[in-house]
Structures are given as C-alpha cells and as structure tokens.
Amino acid sequence: NAGVTQTPKFRVLKTGQSMTLLCAQDMNHEYMYWYRQDPGMGLRLIHYSVGEGTTAKGEVPDGYNVSRLKKQNFLLGLESAAPSQTSVYFCASRDGRLTYEQYFGPGTRLTVT
Amino acid sequence: SQKIEQNSEALNIQEGKTATLTCNYTNYSPAYLQWYRQDPGRGPVFLLLIRENEKEKRKERLKVTFDTTLKQSLFHITASQPADSATYLCAPLSGTYKYIFGTGTRLKVLA
C-alpha cells in the first residue's frame, strides 16, 4: 500500500508556463482534495472531488483546474503559472463513507519565477 | 467567514510536561473536529477526531476536548517527549466534505 503519492516532488516553472500535478491513491477512497500551504496561511483548499467524474471549488480555486477521470487519480493543472502560485501543494484522500480522516501525500514544492 | 485560530507562536516545553494547544473557531458550528501532526517537509498525519457530542477523546498520551459553547478545542500531550516536536494543526469539518485548517502551532519539546 503506497497510500497517497504525488508527482513531481519539486518543480520550477517560469511565469506563463503550464503544468499538471498528479495525485494517486491506492486505498479506493471516494473523496480527494488539493490544498496549498503557504507560510502563515495554513492549508487552503483549492479543489476537491467527491467521486469519479465530479469536482468542486474550494477556498482558492482561481488559476487552477482539476480532473478526476479515474477514481484513484486527481490531477491539478496550472494553465498559466504566476509567481503567486509558488507554494507547497498537498493532495489528500478520504474514504468518504464512515470515516473523516484524511490521508495526505508528501507534497509538491512548486516555484514560479 | 469561517475562521480558525491557533496560537502562531511556538510552544516550548520541557520533556515530561504536558503540552496544551488551543484551537478557536468562529462563525460556524462544526460537527467534527480533527487534529493533525505535521513534520517539516512532510504532509499532515491524522491524530484524533472528536464529535460535537463528545466532550473529550483520548488516544494513548493524547487528549482532545471540544467545547461547543466556547467554540474551542484543546489538544493535550501528556508526558511529552522530544519526538513529539512538530506542528499541530486543528481542522474542524465544514459541512460534509470540507475541512478548514488552522495555521498550526509549532511545539518543541526540550530534553
């Protein structure tokens, strides 16, 4: 059981470039989440999904898009990266039935120059 | 708007003492509240969940209280050890699916 994995672990982008962050979970969880974590700001929810083919906006969705084509994968896209998107991105999953515990991935450190 | 407040200042305590961390929330009434531990460079790890109808929850050396009148949760680590040094995040559930995380309190246990 790998749990929640994130790809890549680190990335440097130039302003205006695009990229996709991949989150994969092998626990058959229904719910998946993307957060960003900035110093002094805590974890902020970007988008989330409560099942395959569904997505919803979180607290800070602007500049990001997501897709959940397969239950085990949740992709976060940046179409035109901006320096304000420099952050550490965490993916999390949750069973969604009887439990509320979230399992987090190791994070992706993104720098936009 | 919904707001979570945790003491942003680091908490330093001596090994063996009890550490107490505070989480205050405003503008909503969560049915569940969770606490997570986060080590530097890693993702948060779930520790405990407490429901609104539970006053207290324990797990080994950890204890969480939930006061819905004061809108506050307290997180206690008894007999603290240097290995308990980490940042602890409070996360009340907002609605059915979403959590709002506090900024966390950094705990340092001194040997």
Sign of the alpha-carbon torsion through A1, A105, A97, A20: negative
Residues A51-64 have pLDDT tens digits of: 999 999 999 999 99
Instruction: Say whether residue A100 is in contact with chain B using an 8 A CB cutoff.
Output: yes
pLDDT attached to residue A47: 97
User: What is the pLDDT at residue B21?
Assistant: 97
Mean pLDDT of A62-68: 97
What does the alpha-carbon distance between residue A40 and residue B66 come to, in Å, rounded to a whole number?
24
Chain A touched by B97 (CB under 8 Å): yes
Closest partner residue to B98 among A42, A58, A104, by Cβ?
Answer: A58
> Residues of B8-30 as b/e, b for ≥16 C-beta within 10 angstroms?
eeeeebeeeeebebebbbeeeeb
The owner of tokens 């990001």 is A64
pLDDT means over runs of 10, chain B (111 residues): 85 96 91 94 95 93 95 96 97 86 95 94
- How far is Cα A57 from Cα A79, in angstroms, rounded to an integer? 16
Output the pLDDT for position B55.
Answer: 87
Q: Using an 8 Å Cβ cutoff, are B31 and B91 in contact? A: no
CB-CB under 8 Å, B102 with A42? yes
Closest CA of chain B from A81, distance in Å = 23
Mean pLDDT computed over A13-34: 96
Compute the mean pLDDT over every residue in chain A, rounded to the nearest whole number. Answer: 95
pLDDT at B14: 97
Q: Give Cα A20 distance to the centre of its chain.
A: 10
CA distance B64 to B30: 15
Q: Are B65 and B73 in contact (CB under 8 A)?
A: yes
% residues pLDDT > 90 (chain A): 89
Q: Around Cβ A61, how many Cβ atoms within 10 Å?
A: 16
Q: What pLDDT score was predicted for residue A44?
A: 95
